[in-house]
């Protein structure tokens, strides 16, 4: 089987602990040392994912890296850093980063996160399967789905979605109730729980790592959403997932 292709951006590759151990060993990796070179490779070279390495960056440089236009490019973009916190996740996700790697992670977890990003989130397929007759009910609903997928895993408030659609909050609430039978907040909760369960099935990440990847403020926040959506904890969900798919559990 041919190796997946990565584009790796790092101004100082020797400072990236995973450059030789993973990126060059496990994947077919092409590197870029400047922003211009990175943009060119993102848009012109066939690749499965891109990784932006922040391992050697100072705090002010990380801020600049998270503003790169390539974060919203045609392929999934991951970040690699020595320190990861909710604020970094929030800013990265808001800019378009889909997954986050930490230098201290185990080798298998790093590979799992990269592979999960390459496979894609499956969000559109999940929503189209769960509400097959709803996608064409309104041009606003189609745009709403596009927005949810585009900003994932960044979390936006209902008013922000309404602003992006150019309608008021009350109209958006009515549209969601008529189309999906639930408010937008409940729809979004189901989306994030689905993605968490999908990562439970396809990766070796523990609940804390999954909560971090999906922009939860803490693991307990993810647990609360699981209980609201499913009636049981993430740990119990793992047991159910041995016999059922995430889609089955969300019916």
pTM equals 0.74
**Owner of token pair 């974060």:** 71
Are 165 and 83 members of one domain?
no
Residue-number span of the structural domain to which 102 is assigned: 5-119
CB-based contacts of 61: which residues, under 8 Å, 6+ apart? Answer: 54
Asked if residues 179 and 118 have their Cβ atoms less than 8 Å apart, the reply is: no
CB-based contacts of 21: which residues, under 8 Å, 6+ apart? Answer: 107
Examine the pLDDT at 135 and tell me if it is beyond 70: no
pLDDT score, position 85:
77
Are 135 and 227 members of one domain?
yes
Distances (CA, A) of 172 to 141, 169, 182: 9, 5, 11
pLDDT score, position 66:
78
Per-residue pLDDT reduced to its tens digit, 4-37: 888 988 876 556 777 767 777 888 888 888 888 9
Per-residue pLDDT reduced to its tens digit, 83-97: 777 778 878 887 788
pLDDT score, position 15:
65
pLDDT score, position 147:
85
Are 36 and 127 members of one domain?
no
CATH of the domain at 241: 1.10.10.60
pLDDT band at 129 (very low <50, low <70, confident <90, very high): confident
> Pick from 60, 86, 119: which residue ends a domain?
119
Per-residue pLDDT reduced to its tens digit, 148-171: 887 888 888 999 999 999 999 999
> Pick from 81, 99, 119: which residue ends a domain?
119
Name the domain count of the chain. Answer: 2
Q: In the chain, what percentage of residues exceed pLDDT 90? A: 30
Are 181 and 239 members of one domain?
yes
pLDDT score, position 154:
81
Are 100 and 143 members of one domain?
no
Quick one: angle between helices 158-165 and 169-180, nearest 10? 100
Residue 208 tokens, joined: 């804390």
Give the dihedral of Cα atoms 82, 41, 113, 57; nearest 10 deg. 10
CB-based contacts of 85: which residues, under 8 Å, 6+ apart? Answer: none
Q: What is the mean pLDDT of the chain?
A: 85
Per-residue pLDDT reduced to its tens digit, 46-98: 888 888 888 777 777 777 777 777 677 778 888 888 877 777 887 888 778 88
Distance CA 58, CA 77 (A): 20
> Pick from 119, 134, 169: which residue ends a domain?
119
Asked if residues 237 and 230 have their Cβ atoms less than 8 Å apart, the reply is: yes
Are 164 and 77 members of one domain?
no
């Amino acid at each position: 089987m041919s190796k997946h292709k990565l584009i790796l951006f790092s101004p100082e590759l020797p400072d990236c602990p995973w450059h030789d151990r993973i990126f060059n060993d496990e994947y077919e990796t092409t590197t870029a040392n400047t922003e211009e070179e990175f943009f060119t490779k993102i848009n012109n070279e066939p690749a499965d994912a891109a990784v932006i390495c922040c391992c050697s960056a100072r705090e002010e440089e990380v801020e600049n890296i998270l503003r790169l236009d390539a974060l919203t490019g045609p392929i999934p973009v991951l970040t690699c850093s020595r320190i990861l916190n909710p604020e970094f996740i929030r800013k990265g996700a808001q800019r378009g980063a889909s997954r986050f790697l930490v230098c201290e992670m185990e080798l298998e977890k790093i590979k799992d996160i990269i592979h999960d990003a390459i496979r894609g989130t499956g969000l559109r397929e999940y929503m189209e399967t769960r509400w097959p007759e709803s996608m064409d009910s309104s041009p606003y609903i189609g745009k709403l789905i596009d927005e949810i997928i585009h900003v994932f895993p960044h979390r936006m408030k209902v008013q922000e979605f309404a602003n992006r659609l150019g309608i008021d909050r009350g109209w958006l609430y009515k549209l969601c109730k008529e189309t999906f039978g639930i408010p937008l907040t409940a729809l979004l909760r189901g989306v994030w729980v689905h993605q968490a369960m999908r990562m439970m099935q396809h990766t070796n990440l523990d609940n804390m790592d999954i909560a971090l990847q999906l922009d939860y403020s803490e693991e307990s926040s993810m647990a609360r959403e699981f209980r609201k959506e499913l009636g049981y904890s993430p740990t119990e969900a793992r047991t159910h997932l041995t016999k059922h798919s995430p889609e089955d559990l969300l019916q």
